[in-house]
Amino acid sequence: MNTTATPTSAAPVTLGTRLTRHYGLTLPVVLAPMALASGAALAQACADAGALALVGGGYGDLAWTRHEYSLARPAQAAGRLGCGFITWKLDQDASALDWLLDQPENRPRAVMLSFGDPRPYAPRIRAAGADLICQVQRLEQVPLALEAGARVIVAQGAEAGGHGMNALNGRATLSFVPELADWLAAHSPDTLLLAAGGVADGRSLAAVLMLGADGALVGSRLWASAESLAPAGAKQQAVATSGDGTARSPVFDILRRKNWPQPYDFRAIRNALHRRWESRIDALQADPEAARAEYDAGVAQGDYEAAHATVGEAVGLIHDCPPAAEILRRMGEQAAALLGRQA
């Protein structure tokens, strides 16, 4: 970890780790590549605030990825811009990744792959001069990521919002991160480690640094920012929801017609439509059309008792939706104060 905390009221806080030194950052934070939320405005704001910003390439929509990534060109010029994709979806259509890696003057600093085998794409990513970031949910997945040449490993706890490992197989951030830190120290000490899941303020950022991470991949807290492309109604629901209010299940994937492979499912706010079906998954899978129509109407009307809001358990730490720079400033100052007190 080797953090250097220098809190000050007159200048932005700097928290130095191996991650910040490698990418030229001032904060050991990476914007999670949240599909349809981590667009150009949020990426640029995070990069300007000293974080590494990953545009949410998600399911590999070429038009969306090209538009949002191209708008964030200043962040790329600063060496703080990358993109993330769902790996199993790339297996069906890798055109967005191909476009990204073919940009002669706007290539990504890093590409993050999650939920699948990264090895088919790793040579192209390395040839483009980008770092490969691999997200894992279990220790047994790490050797394959290292075989692919991952420069950074993300340890995703089951607390995280959106897609992750299901309850049967998932790990908690608090125990997964230090175990993986020890494993990497013994087997691949130059590989950087990020923690994901539950990091939403300076306390949780300081905690994962103390656990041995080089930084944090932050999703839910930056999802609820002014620049996020998440719908305003979803953000308002998140602000009003406590940490008790999310659930991990396949419900919203079924309703959204997303054919996710096992053992992954989806954490979001546990709204009325979710509660109606969460104990009847088999019935929903067998006959989903009426529930899908209700979900689609909720999306069209901005009704978040039917439509979903994608946040993790850290939603209980989200009480407003300020600009990303303000979120990162608060996070950095609180973490620096805590780490300085500990030192």
Give 83-128 pLDDT, tens digit per residue: 999 999 999 999 999 999 998 788 899 999 999 999 999 999 999 9
pLDDT digits (tens, 9 = 90+) for 270-292: 999 999 999 999 999 999 999 99
Cα distance between residue 148 and residue 10, in whole Å: 43
Residue 248 to residues 115, 158, 159, 195, 230, Cα–Cα distance (Å): 16, 8, 9, 19, 19
* Residue the block writes with tokens 């790490």: 142
Q: Are residues 277 and 333 in the same domain?
A: no
Confidence of residue 3 (pLDDT cuts 50, 70, 90): low
Say what the pLDDT of residue 306 is: 97
Is the Cβ–Cβ distance between 214 and 192 less than 8 Å? yes
Average pLDDT over residues 158-163: 97
Same domain, 237 and 212: no
- pLDDT level of residue 40 (50, 70, 90 thresholds): very high
Q: Is residue 308 part of a domain?
A: no
Which letter, b or e, does each residue of 202-236 get, where b requires 16 or more Cβ atoms within 10 Å of its Cβ?
Answer: bebbbbbbbbbbbbbbbbbbbbbbbbbbbbeebbe
How high is the pLDDT of residue 1? Answer: 56
CATH number at residue 331: 3.20.20.70
Within a domain: 91: yes
Instruction: Judge if 256 and 219 occupy the same domain.
Output: no
Whether residue 325 lies inside any domain: the answer is: yes
* Lowest-pLDDT choice from 71-85, 123-137, 193-207, 214-228: 71-85
215-242 mean pLDDT: 98
User: Does the residue 52 lie in any domain?
Assistant: yes
Owning domain of residue 112: 4-230+319-342
Mean pLDDT, residues 176-197 taken together? 98
Residues 200 and 242 in one domain: no
Q: Do residue 289 and residue 328 come from a single domain?
A: no
Residue 341 has pLDDT above 90, yes or no: no
* pLDDT at residue number 11: 53
User: Given this model, what pLDDT does residue 167 score?
Assistant: 93
**Residue 241 belongs to some domain of the structure:** yes
Q: What is the mean pLDDT of the chain?
A: 94
Amino acid identity of residue 288, one-letter, is: P
One domain for residues 223 and 251: no
If pLDDT is split at 50, 70 and 90, which confidence band does 7 have? very low
Number of domains in the chain: 2
Shared domain check, 263 and 114 = no
Look at residue 179 and tell me if it is in a domain. Answer: yes
Rounded Cα distance between 72 and 68, Å, is 7
- Judgement on whether residues 236 and 225 belong to the same structural domain of the protein: no
- Clarify whether residues 205 and 237 are in a common domain: no
Mean pLDDT of 24-28: 96
**Tokens describing residue 285:** 């899978």
- Residues 274, 291 share a domain: yes
Please tell me which residue, 12 or 122, carries the higher pLDDT value: 122
pLDDT at 182 over 70: yes
Q: Find the distance separating the first CA and the last CA of the chain, reported in whole Å.
A: 13
- Asked if 31 and 307 count as a contact pair (C-beta separation under 8 A), the reply is no
Specify the pLDDT at position 8. 40
Q: Do 165 and 273 belong to one domain? A: no
Q: What pLDDT, on a 0 to 100 scale, did the predictor assign at position 110?
A: 97
Tokens of 331: 């996070």
Residue 286 lies inside a defined structural domain of this protein = yes
Kindly report, residue by residue over 229-245, the tens digit of the pLDDT. 999 999 999 999 999 99
Question: Is 307 inside a domain boundary?
Answer: no
- Whether 112 and 201 map to the same domain: the answer is yes
CB 286 within 8 A of CB 189: no
The answer, yes or no, to whether residue 335 has pLDDT greater than 70, is yes
Q: What are 47-89's pLDDT values in tens digits? A: 999 999 999 999 999 999 999 999 998 877 788 999 999 999 9
